Structure 1
Amino acid sequence: MRDGGGKHISTRGIFLLSVFVHLCWVSIACPQPQSEINSIRIATPSWENVTKKDGTGLYFDILHKVYDPLQITIAYKIVPWKRAMLMLEHREADALPGGYFVPKDQASDIFPRYPIGGETLCVLSKKGKISEWKGQQSIAGKRIVWIRDYNFHKFLDVQVRWWEIDHEYQGWKLVDIGRVDFYMDNLNFLNRYIRAKTIDRDQYDIHIVVQKALYLRFADTPRSRQLIERYDSIMPSLIETGELKKLFEKWGFPYPSFAPRVDD
């Protein structure tokens, strides 16, 4: 084939030219990868007033506050904790809310700078089991149970004899019959169980062991890094305007510290 000036244009040249034009068109017409994210995939257990099965709760409200203005929808699956962790590992989910921060040299997941909530970890015992509470020293060497995969031993400064259980009612029962000294769990969950089962609170002691910040735990992917960037860029304004505090009040939770994490 020849052009109007009589110069020869080879078939190979036409092909290369068409490829070049196509690539230029794609680079203009297609959005950058950052703008392609239109959803965040959440895997989480169902926690009362935190992550309810109907997609409501404290954490879901926070996620909507962060991502709705960016036109990023919240897609979620309610699954047990262990299944949620596996979904992160297999990249079937972007994030799991309510996880503890783990340094990057010890975990395959990544975390934003700002937490999504806080947790007060307590031990439950029969009334009078401990005559004088001396903090964690009071549980040193004692028999303690907690829910499977919660790994509370990592946050203790003392050695304890610990076992894992599958359901919270097992922890209460083991304490009642004296098989263990303590059942360890989140203070909110202990209070929820007391209300739900109309338990006589005066028959038990509850002591605070440690307080921890809770984070969105993300799979380590480029997509997650963009979602984290957006989360960390919006959380400060939610804190400063008081919007975040209102959400905690709405769902009946104490407002924790939202200082950004500085350690990696």
Structure 2
Amino acid sequence: MIGFPIKKMAYTFALAFTALAVFPSFADKHSEKEIILVSEAWEDATEKDGSGLYFEIMRRVFEPLGYSIKTITTTYSRSVYLVQTKKMDAFLGSYIDEKEKILYPYWHFDADQVSAVYKASVIPTWEGEKTLGNRTVGWVKGYDYSDYIDTKFNIHEVKSRRQGLSMVYSDRLDVMLDARKELEEEFALGYLDRDDFEMVNIMDLKLYPGFADSEKGQELRRIYDERFEELLAKGEIKRLYDKYEWEYFPFSVSSTP
């Protein structure tokens, strides 16, 4: 017990050192007109080369006001850490009030259709959220789906979707939760037979940018809300969704959040 705080402190310092070693520019003071966005790499949304729907939305919001956008991709959990510690300005793809020491705006930019993947041999009949009760349920580390589900179950975080789905296949996990789009893209890689699994949608969760809790972050949040609402009303957000052939447009005709 005496060694635990020391071990935890050492881990924290190691994580911070790793972040600086891999991305040395994090520690450099960047221009007030430069916005550093960090995100997990998602296909057609936040690509490693800086392209994608989500990055383009953020550029459309800020660049007309003279800001420049710099994008970096890493794991979701590290994205959160880098913004919580104010080394970066914002991360993408957070659920509302999901993380501490983060500023959340009024407007979401997308929504996850969260799905459960399981084997019929393990769960013969799906009866809604209560089906998860007392089962072992997994998701990628950092996603914290338990905050949005009332049913109690055993949580097992995994490092990747590949690991999670493989554990469902080998009966080491009863259920894997993730965004439906991400799950379908993972199945498309072909290392598992999609027909061996069942998939059901269990909820929709709106996605927000998470801004650093700083004066700059407060200003960026204010600008984001004003500009996003303007672009949405003009139909520019819908045109971006159409450009990327996005399957789901999470806004009503009246443009209410």
Q: TM-score range by the shorter chain?
A: 0.7 to 0.9
Cα root mean square deviation, aligned = 1.9
Which amino acid in 1 is paired with 2:186?
Y
Q: Please give the alpha-carbon distance, in whole angstroms, between the structure 1 residues aligned to 2:206 and 2:169.
A: 30
Which amino acid in 2 is paired with 1:189?
E
In the alignment, what sits opposite 1:257?
251
* Structure 2 gap segments, 5+ residues each: 1-30
Instruction: Tell me how far 1:208 sits from its aligned partner.
Output: 1.2
In the alignment, what sits opposite 2:67?
72
In the alignment, what sits opposite 1:58?
53
Per-residue deviation, residues 142-188 of structure 1 (Å, max 9, x unmatched): 11111112111111110011111111111111111111211111111
Q: Which of 135, 159, 165 lines up with 2:158 in the alignment?
A: 165
In the alignment, what sits opposite 2:238?
245
* Structure 1 gap segments, 5+ residues each: 1-35
Highest Rg: 1 or 2? 1
Give the secondary structure class of the aligned counterpart of 1:43. strand
Instruction: Tell me how far 1:201 sits from its aligned partner.
Output: 2.6
Q: Which of 221, 243, 254 lines up with 1:228 in the alignment?
A: 221
Instruction: Tell me how far 1:37 sits from its aligned partner.
Output: 3.6
Pair 1:95 & 2:83 matched? no
In the alignment, what sits opposite 1:209?
202
Instruction: Tell me how far 1:213 sits from its aligned partner.
Output: 0.6
Q: Please give the alpha-carbon distance, in whole angstroms, between the structure 2 residues aligned to 1:37 and 1:59.
A: 22
In the alignment, what sits opposite 2:133?
140
Runs of 4+ in 1 over 6 A off after TM superposition: none
Q: Please give the alpha-carbon distance, in whole angstroms, between the structure 1 residues aligned to 2:178 and 2:243.
A: 23
Per-residue deviation, residues 53-107 of structure 1 (Å, max 9, x unmatched): 000011111011101211111012222222222211221111001111118xx72
Q: Please give the alpha-carbon distance, in whole angstroms, between the structure 1 residues aligned to 2:151 and 2:110.
A: 25
In the alignment, what sits opposite 1:24?
none
Give the secondary structure class of the aligned counterpart of 1:133. coil
In the alignment, what sits opposite 1:188?
181
Give the secondary structure class of the aligned counterpart of 1:224. helix
Distance 1:227 1:260, change over 3 A: farther
In the alignment, what sits opposite 1:151?
144
Aligned positions, number = 224
Q: Please give the alpha-carbon distance, in whole angstroms, between the structure 2 residues aligned to 1:137 and 1:154.
A: 15
Instruction: Tell me how far 1:134 sits from its aligned partner.
Output: 2.0
Pair 1:83 & 2:52 matched? no
